[in-house]
A and B are shown apart, each in its own frame.
Chain A
Amino acid sequence: MTTAPGNRHPSQDANGLFARFIAATEIDTRLLGMIGALVLIWLGFQFYGEIVKGDGFFLTPRNLWNLSVQMCSIGVMATGMVLVIVTRNIDLSVGSMLGFIGMLMGLLQVEWLPPHLGLGHPAIWIITVIVGLCLGALMGTLNGLLIAFLEIPSFIVTLGGLMFWRGGAFLLANGRTISPVDSTFALIGGGPYGAIGSTGSWVIGLVACAAVIFGLVAGRANRRKHDFPQRPVWAEVVLAVLGCGLIIGAVLVVDAYPWPKGIVAKYIADNGLTVDPATLFIAHGFAYPVLILTTVAILMTILMTKTRFGRYVFAIGGNPEAAALSGINVKWMTVKIFALMGTLAGLSAVISSARLTSATNALGQTDELYVIAAAVIGGTSLAGGVGTIYGAVLGALVMESLRTGMVLIGFDTAIQSMVVGGVLVVAVYLDIVYRKRIK
């Protein structure tokens, strides 16, 4: 192995077993911290259930599957909020935008389109989704234009949006609940039919494992080509095993959650089978919204780490003046970032109204707080310049774990919101301590 001074891998200089492991695998220590916190939360709810209620509900395939579906709406928006916060802005309007878009999509697919196309026409859900995404992009663009060109602080613009769009959602349908949504549209929200089943999950899981291994091999080849320090081989193997283990673990969990008996019986009747419903095990597999969130997270990670756009987002966050002097058009970047945030709010509106199979006036209420909390817990710095997509998704998982866990053990909503609020403050404090220590 070459050990030219500029070419040593940091793991060769690290002291202690743990420090060497971290340096060799180049795992982000704050990622480890978040996973640790998540494990603590999960085990805590599990043991609380077992001891106090006599049954641990939390770590069951059923609950974990539901958790994965429930976090998607917040998770999708949190990936966009990272960009907003990294560039030293904030978007308080995402929850209300979600509500307004959800309501408009509800009216579109329930009251406006069916008279022209016929109920259940296959184009209805497609038109609805496209309109939802475009509307989100437009609303986000409006936010961005007001912030970038009229120079109104983003806090004020989006605080106005928070109130404006919530009122708008009420006016659209005079406070009615629009239900039920188009049956194909509803699949996007998950449920027994809104999941890809066992075989599909295995295919996706194995493809993901192959991608992890390919990524590690290609990264190593690239470092060798440019003569940069490389990770030890054992560290690469550890990373591959960890990555694939997590993916296969997730597949096993979602495949262990069967369809409810009633749905199985209906499925047998519909398909003219002669099997005993009690013995037929049909697994859910990954739900559609989970696949959407995963796709969004991967695309956003590529956008943030592999493209000029992402580089400029970080540069603006680090030093807006330097970014402008480097020829970056900071104003248009701001518009694009808010437009992207709006589009993601539109996507979240699709997911959450599909999951409820209705558009209600409360859809997305207080979501902005959970989204911001998820991004911040995930390590996005409110001072700007720092943040990761995977952190925000993990942050969304932490927030949703807390929320569903407390529902399961029977805390009432007052206590729930107190706990979530406390956790947010403590998490940010721990983050500050962490940042000071690594400096």
Chain B
Amino acid sequence: MDKGTPLVEMRDISIAFGGIKAVDHVTVDLYPGEVVGLLGHNGAGKSTLIKCLSGAYRADSGQILINGQPVEIANPRDAREHNIETIYQTLALADNLTAAQNLFLGRELVNARGFLDESAMEAETRKIMGRLNPNFRKFNVPVSALSGGQRQSVAIARAVYFNAKILIMDEPTAALGPHETQMVAELIQELKTQGLGIFLIEHDIHSVMKLCDRASVMKNGQLVGTVKVDEVTDEDILGMIILGKKPAKAA
């Protein structure tokens, strides 16, 4: 792989909550067209680390570089301005709003007089959903009336629609059936070929082996190590997750 300037570099990130170091001097990076898996037990600090990148939390110390430039990400709006999109594990959808209203939440299309352009937003939503989930029909109901897979596709559509360069996916397939999981896998491959960088938080070791180029493993807030997936075995990665032991052959 071409090791030019990384798309994202999170350097020496630390964040503590009430004395507990949730993330302790962790450094990870991500290149264009690459999928980096973030692994670890519940509470290992993966989600916390990634929330510093999506703007939900602010790191106590450390630096974030996008395309080699240091950036300040103080809130989700800043992250979006750097083309960082996040699909949260909880999906972060407002249940009382429709798919189109959720997709454009915080970035509504407005007409010349500054009023919401609902028709344009619905038309755009129909377009993107037609690509991601062609069977989707429920455009005029609140997302609370949708199935888990449909809700997931709305959350994914929201991340993909706005030309993300950096995509964060927090367990995107946790609530999905086999067919939908396959769809997400295909989507990840497609986005990868388009040159996006993807951080994938994932528990399922087989998905990681299949989808990711590299894997960074965390334990108790610290980085155990980062390995190239095709240079290690399932057991190596499991050893990193469970024992915090870095395999000898990995660089």
Which residues from B are CB-within-8-Å of A317? Answer: 96
B121 CB, min distance to chain A CBs, angstroms: 10
Task: Report Cα–Cα, A223/B80, bound state, in Å.
Answer: 31
Q: Which of A5, A311, A385 contacts B116 (CB 8 A)?
A: A311
B6 CB, min distance to chain A CBs, angstroms: 25
* CB pair A318 B94 closer than 8 Å: yes
Which residues from A are CB-within-8-Å of B145? Answer: 439
Which secondary structure characterizes the binding site on chain A? helix
Task: Report Cα–Cα, A302/B114, bound state, in Å.
Answer: 12
A224 CB, min distance to chain B CBs, angstroms: 10
Residue of chain B at shortest CB distance from A310: B116
Task: Report Cα–Cα, A223/B140, bound state, in Å.
Answer: 13
* CB pair A325 B101 closer than 8 Å: no
* CB pair A386 B116 closer than 8 Å: no
* CB pair A318 B116 closer than 8 Å: no
B38 CB, min distance to chain A CBs, angstroms: 18
Contact with B along A156-173 (1 / 0, CB 8 A): 000000000000000000
The verdict on A210 contacting chain B, using a C-beta distance below 8 Å, is: no
Which residues from A are CB-within-8-Å of B236? Answer: none
Task: Report Cα–Cα, A371/B158, bound state, in Å.
Answer: 38
Q: Which of A307, A314, A325 contacts B92 (CB 8 A)?
A: A325
Which residues from B are CB-within-8-Å of A315? Answer: 94, 97, 101, 105
Q: Which of A308, A325, A385 contacts B110 (CB 8 A)?
A: A308
* CB pair B80 A327 closer than 8 Å: yes
A155 CB, min distance to chain B CBs, angstroms: 22
* CB pair A319 B92 closer than 8 Å: yes
The verdict on B69 contacting chain A, using a C-beta distance below 8 Å, is: no
Counted as pairs of residues, one from A and one from B, with CB atoms less than 8 Å apart, the total is: 82
* CB pair A322 B80 closer than 8 Å: no
The verdict on A237 contacting chain B, using a C-beta distance below 8 Å, is: no
The verdict on A321 contacting chain B, using a C-beta distance below 8 Å, is: yes
A69-96: which have CB < 8 Å to B?
none
Chain A, interface size category, equals 20 to 34
Q: Which of B75, B95, B115, B123 contacts A385 (CB 8 A)?
A: B95
The verdict on A324 contacting chain B, using a C-beta distance below 8 Å, is: yes
A292 CB, min distance to chain B CBs, angstroms: 23
The verdict on A3 contacting chain B, using a C-beta distance below 8 Å, is: no
Contact with A along B101-131 (1 / 0, CB 8 A): 1000111101000111001101100100000
Which residues from B are CB-within-8-Å of A318? Answer: 94-97, 142
A324-347: which have CB < 8 Å to B?
324-328
Task: Report Cα–Cα, A222/B115, bound state, in Å.
Answer: 14
Task: Report Cα–Cα, A319/B119, bound state, in Å.
Answer: 24
Which residues from A are CB-within-8-Å of B238? Answer: none
* CB pair B93 A322 closer than 8 Å: yes
* CB pair A307 B75 closer than 8 Å: no
* CB pair B108 A308 closer than 8 Å: yes
Task: Report Cα–Cα, A306/B86, bound state, in Å.
Answer: 27
A148 CB, min distance to chain B CBs, angstroms: 15
Q: Which of B56, B94, B110 contacts A314 (CB 8 A)?
A: B94
* CB pair B92 A326 closer than 8 Å: yes
B188 CB, min distance to chain A CBs, angstroms: 21
Q: How many residues of B contact A (CB 8 A)?
A: 34
* CB pair A322 B94 closer than 8 Å: yes
Which residues from B are CB-within-8-Å of A325? Answer: 54, 56, 76, 86, 88, 92
The verdict on B194 contacting chain A, using a C-beta distance below 8 Å, is: no
A283-330: which have CB < 8 Å to B?
302, 305-308, 311, 314-315, 317-319, 321-328
Which residues from B are CB-within-8-Å of A439? Answer: 145
* CB pair B108 A226 closer than 8 Å: no
* CB pair A319 B110 closer than 8 Å: no
Q: Which of A223, A305, A386 contacts B119 (CB 8 A)?
A: A223
The verdict on B82 contacting chain A, using a C-beta distance below 8 Å, is: no
* CB pair A327 B76 closer than 8 Å: yes
* CB pair A307 B115 closer than 8 Å: yes
Task: Report Cα–Cα, A326/B54, bound state, in Å.
Answer: 10
Which residues from A are CB-within-8-Å of B91? Answer: 322
Which residues from A are CB-within-8-Å of B76? Answer: 324-327
B225 CB, min distance to chain A CBs, angstroms: 30
Contact with A along B70-99 (1 / 0, CB 8 A): 000001110010000010101111111100
The verdict on A228 contacting chain B, using a C-beta distance below 8 Å, is: yes
Which residues from A are CB-within-8-Å of B97? Answer: 311, 314-315, 318
Which residues from B are CB-within-8-Å of A223? Answer: 119
Task: Report Cα–Cα, A329/B121, bound state, in Å.
Answer: 22
Which residues from B are CB-within-8-Å of A322? Answer: 90-94, 105
A198-244: which have CB < 8 Å to B?
222-223, 225-226, 228
Which residues from A are CB-within-8-Å of B56? Answer: 324-325
A383 CB, min distance to chain B CBs, angstroms: 10
Task: Report Cα–Cα, A328/B75, bound state, in Å.
Answer: 10
B194 CB, min distance to chain A CBs, angstroms: 24
* CB pair A228 B122 closer than 8 Å: yes
Residue of chain B at shortest CB distance from A226: B119
Known A-B contacts A318-B96, A322-B94, A323-B105; the reply to A226 vs B88 at CB < 8 A is: no
Which residues from B are CB-within-8-Å of A311? Answer: 97, 101, 105, 108, 116
The verdict on A6 contacting chain B, using a C-beta distance below 8 Å, is: yes
Which residues from A are CB-within-8-Å of B115? Answer: 302, 306-307
* CB pair B95 A319 closer than 8 Å: yes
Task: Report Cα–Cα, A327/B107, bound state, in Å.
Answer: 9
Q: Which of A6, A226, A326, A386 contacts B96 (CB 8 A)?
A: A386
Known A-B contacts A308-B110, A315-B105, A322-B105; the reply to A228 vs B119 at CB < 8 A is: yes
In order of increasing CB-CB distance, the 8 nearest A-B pairs are A318-B94, A326-B106, A318-B96, A327-B77, A385-B96, A322-B92, A327-B106, A306-B115
Selected A-B contacts with CB under 8 Å, 27 pairs: A226-B119, A302-B115, A307-B114, A307-B115, A308-B108, A314-B94, A315-B94, A315-B101, A318-B94, A318-B95, A318-B97, A319-B94, A321-B90, A322-B90, A322-B91, A322-B93, A323-B94, A325-B56, A325-B88, A326-B76, A327-B77, A327-B106, A327-B107, A328-B105, A385-B95, A385-B96, A386-B96
Chain A residues with CB under 8 Å of chain B are 5-6, 222-223, 225-226, 228, 302, 305-308, 311, 314-315, 317-319, 321-328, 385-386, 439
